[in-house]
Amino acid sequence: MLKNFDNHTLEILILKHFPTEKSNITFYPITTGKFNESYIVKCRSRDLVLRIAPPQDIGLIFYEKNMMAQEPEIHRIVREKTSIPVPEIYVHDTSHSIIGSDYLIMEKIDGITATDAHFLKKNQWDNVLYQVGKHLRELHSITAEKYGYLGEHRPMESQKDWASAFMVMWNKMANQIVDVEGYSKVEGQFFTELLEKHIEIFEHNPPSSLLHMDIWHQNIILDRNGKVVGVVDWDRALWGDVEIEFAVLDYCGISEPPFWKGYGKERDTSESVQLRNVFYLLYEIKKYIIIYATRRYNPMTKEQYKNQVFRIAESIKQKNNL
């Protein structure tokens, strides 16, 4: 998927925006990224991070198309309205004058990812989750008037309520899975009807909160003592029901008791919340059918995700005697 640009091209790109750095710029690929092509850039007077968007014809999920475009505004909002440590974005270039992709150049945060912090003791890791909980409580206090993917990439029309927004998102995902032959048309219709039959549980009028939607170990930056010094990769940000963020946190192993202590609010475990959570989990997992049908082409893995999705969906159907 990635282009692996040569150093000369990357140096020209950096010097376009930071001409005083002259030359002898060194690039270190960030190998853990699964979407953008990213580099740590060591210049004469500063370190930077360069993130290059993938080609738009590689089988992107509907909300991934041009999603880098929303990051500068999201970073600005979060930096202005919270204490969450988010890097400053210096450059967002969409000119394609040097390379045929959009890219960002941003501040480099010194630290390591939580994935690499194997040396932390349990109490230190609990404290990491506590800090993440505090940060997300701050994030979720930022609200908007409309719902959905509201960023500059505009993958959908904004909606006046969450139920409408989630239905648009759900159906766009289902239709795209049909398009890439992950579902038959009949199977796609099954998922459309499944949500329609339960849409009333999404009419609970939640605030339209700003959601990160990709909090996992790789996107949490720590210092050697386990302090959270960075939260990165905001390109999947969404405005809507905080419960869908919680479903992603469940899937990524973040929503443990220390997280909730930091969040400062007990989780609602009512029946309607639990049912919504199953739909939100399905929304998170279904994307992998598209990913493994297209850019990470692997029919066997695609079928495994499809089977998992249907098992979860059938449990909803059986529980409610549909």
Domain harbouring 301, CATH code: 3.90.1200.10
* Same domain? 57 vs 183: no
pLDDT tens track for 141-168: 999 999 999 999 999 999 999 999 999 9
Instruction: Tell me, yes or no, whether 32 lies in a domain.
Output: yes
Query: Residue with structure tokens 């927004």?
Result: 165
Summarize the confidence of residues 130-140 as an average pLDDT. Answer: 98
Q: What is the pLDDT of residue 320?
A: 63
* Same domain? 123 vs 200: yes
pLDDT tens track for 224-249: 999 999 999 999 999 999 999 999 99
pLDDT tens track for 169-190: 999 999 999 999 999 999 999 9
Could you list the residue range(s) of the whole structural domain that residue 80 is in? 7-108
Q: Which amino acid is at 235?
A: D
Summarize the confidence of residues 122-140 as an average pLDDT. Answer: 98
Q: What is the pLDDT of residue 74?
A: 98
Report pTM: 0.95
- Of 171-185, 213-227, 307-321, the range with the lowest mean pLDDT is 307-321
* Same domain? 153 vs 251: yes
Q: What is the CATH number of the domain that holds 33?
A: 3.30.200.20
Q: Which of 109, 135, 121 is nearest to 226 (CA)?
A: 121
- Of 55-59, 267-271, 314-318, the range with the lowest mean pLDDT is 314-318
- Which of 40, 73, 108 is the C-terminal boundary of a domain? 108
Q: Which of 255, 275, 261, 266 is nearest to 320 (CA)?
A: 275
Residues forming beta bridges with residue 27, ordered by sequence position: 41
Summarize the confidence of residues 289-297 as an average pLDDT. Answer: 94
* Same domain? 65 vs 168: no
Using CA atoms, how far apart are residues 65 and 170, in angstroms rounded to an integer?
16
* Same domain? 130 vs 79: no
Cα 33 → chain centroid: 12
Q: What is the pLDDT of residue 322?
A: 45
Q: E strand or H helix at 143, and its extent?
A: strand 143-144
Instruction: Tell me, yes or no, whether 284 lies in a domain.
Output: yes
For all residues of the chain together, what is the average pLDDT? Answer: 94
Q: Which of 69, 89, 98 is nearest to 8 (CA)?
A: 98
* Same domain? 143 vs 174: yes
pLDDT tens track for 19-44: 998 878 999 999 877 789 999 999 98
- Which of 91, 108, 125 is the C-terminal boundary of a domain? 108
Q: Which residues contact 37 (CB under 8 A, 6 or more apart)?
A: 2, 3, 4, 5, 29, 51, 52, 54
Give the whole-number percent of the chain exceeding pLDDT 70: 97
Q: What is the pLDDT of residue 319?
A: 62
- Which of 108, 139, 171 is the C-terminal boundary of a domain? 108
Instruction: Tell me, yes or no, whether 2 lies in a domain.
Output: no
303/317: higher pLDDT:
303
Summarize the confidence of residues 297-314 as an average pLDDT. Answer: 95
Reply yes or no on whether the pLDDT at 84 is more than 50. Answer: yes
Tally of domains within the chain: 2
Q: What is the pLDDT of residue 321?
A: 55
